Amino acid sequence: MSDNLVRVAVDQELCIGGGICEMLEPEVFELDDDVVISSVISNGLLPRNRAEVVVDRCPGQAIAIVEENLDKER
């Protein structure tokens, strides 16, 4: 079940703008050049195992999984 799609979101209050998310998942996260806060670009979908890694590695604990099991929707 580890590759089920989930949706991630960034809490911009908590983001410290280090860019770990953009490094790990450049298709999903992008740092704004002016305010240096991460936002979700694209539809925010990631396989669950990869989503769990960014959630875990985000130093600001700013990323969360907000929707589960969005099976293969695009």
* Rounded Cα distance, 8 and 13, in Å: 16
Residues at the interface with ligand SF4 (CB under 6 A): 10, 15-21, 29, 31, 38, 58-60, 62-63
Residue 62 binds which one of ligand SF4, another protein, none, with CB within 5 to 8 A depending on kind?
ligand SF4
Q: What's the alpha-carbon Rg for the chain, to the nearest Å?
A: 12
Among 4, 9, 31, 52, binds another protein (CB under 8 A): 31
Closer of 1 and 6 to ligand SF4 (Cβ): 6
* Interaction between residue 11 and another protein (CB under 8 A): no
Residues 6+ apart with CB under 8 A from 40: 8, 9, 10, 28, 29
